[in-house]
Amino acid sequence: MWRILCRHYRLPYSRWVDEAGTNFKVRFGPPAVYADTSAVWHHKKPWRATELWLTLTVPTSWRRSVFAAGLANAGGLLTLAVKQVAEDAWEASWLVQKRGYDFCVERGYIVRAADGTYAHGRSLKSARAIADGRTKVWGEKLRQAHARKRAEAQARLRELRDQLAGMTRGQIIAAFGDVPISLRDSLRAGNCPDGTRSWINKWADGRTSGTVSNVLNTGAPLDEYLLRAIAVAIARQGASA
């Protein structure tokens, strides 16, 4: 509990006044908080600081019901008590910091969102709405990130394809001959399965994997389909000329 308090809540501290700080205690009982402050002074200088007495009351089952369930600092708040009401939801009490060093206990519900984060609400409906909204926003961010990566990958493939198109067969072998290539690279390039199988049977004697050198040494035409397959293989390996 002390580690959670230090990480997520504002506690008094002073580099100059030794008496400043927090006196923390834990008691057992219904969830509650008691907080009181006093001014403390440097023993020689007119420097003022704050000393805080903070006492939390939690159920005797806190370690088993809250900590063991991974809910101790759900959503960045210290959870004082929980009662599971659904697979992803709990009726709960948690510690909230108000202005200064005032604290209070709030009661409501905690819902685990699909992205693994937690949402707090006064009612189960409101907590779930927050969790669902967060999941939707997160999902959209992931979709946008994937779209950007896909666009970047496609741009890289187009660049590689154009680079290969401007090279001779010998230059490609010299630069990328050791790059592994397989049937899957052709399919990822958008070539149809039947056409890929037909090419393999005609030019590679049925081999489904090899190197770029193997492919080009078959004597197969260096057409658009082959250029795309080679570009995918190079991009997958992160190779560069």
Name the percent of the chain lying above pLDDT 70. 98
239 has a pLDDT exceeding 60: no
139 is a domain residue: no
Residue 21 and residue 108 share a domain: yes
pLDDT at 240: 54
Give the model's confidence band at 1: pLDDT under 50 very low, under 70 low, under 90 confident, else very high: very high
Tens-place pLDDT, residues 164-223:
999 999 999 999 999 999 999 999 888 888 888 889 998 988 899 999 999 999 989 989
Alpha carbon distance 66, 18 (integer Å): 34
CA angle 162, 165, 167 (to 5 degrees): 115
Whose CA is closest to 131, among 88, 174, 76, 161? 88
Q: Give the separation between CA 148 and CA 140, rounded to whole angstroms.
A: 12
Task: Tell me: do 79 and 188 sit in the same domain.
Answer: no
Q: Check whether residue 22 and residue 113 sit in a common domain.
A: yes
The pLDDT value given to residue 134: 81
SS (H, E, C) 115-165: CCCEEEECCHHHHHHHHHHHHHHHHHHHHHHHHHHHHHHHHHHHHHHHHHH
Asked if residue 123 and residue 8 are part of one domain, the reply reads yes
Co-location of 109 and 49 in the same domain: yes
Average pLDDT over residues 29-55: 86
Domain carrying residue 157: 146-237
In a domain, 134, yes or no: no
Please identify, among 128, 156, 186, the residue that sits at the C-terminal boundary of a domain.
Answer: 128
**E strand or H helix at 91, and its extent?**
strand 89-97
Q: Which helix (H) or strand (E) holds 181?
A: strand 180-182
Confidence label for 42 from pLDDT (cuts 50, 70 and 90): confident
**123 and 161 share one domain:** no
Residue 199: partners with Cβ closer than 8 Å, 6 or more residues away = 186, 220, 225, 226
The predicted structure's pLDDT at residue 30: 96
End of a domain among 128, 157, 182?
128
If you average pLDDT over residues 40-55, what whole number do you get? 82
pLDDT reading at 101 higher than 60: yes
- Position with higher pLDDT, 91 vs 239: 91
Same domain flag for 102 and 11: yes
State the average pLDDT for the chain: 89
pLDDT at residue 100 is higher than 60: yes
Exposed / middle / buried, residue 87 (Cβ in 10 Å: 0-12, 13-18, 19+) = exposed
**One-letter identity of residue 173:** I
Distance between CA atoms of residues 229 and 133, nearest Å: 41
pLDDT at residue 56, as a whole number: 97
Same domain assignment for residues 109 and 151 = no
pLDDT beyond 90 at 62:
yes
Domain count, the chain: 2
Q: Do 10 and 51 sit in the same domain of this protein?
A: yes
Does the predicted model carry a pTM greater than 0.75?
Answer: no
Q: Indicate the pLDDT class of residue 238, thresholds 50, 70 and 90.
A: confident
Torsion of Cα atoms, 195 then 196 then 201 then 207, to 10°? -170
Q: How far apart are CA 128 and CA 138, in angstroms?
A: 15
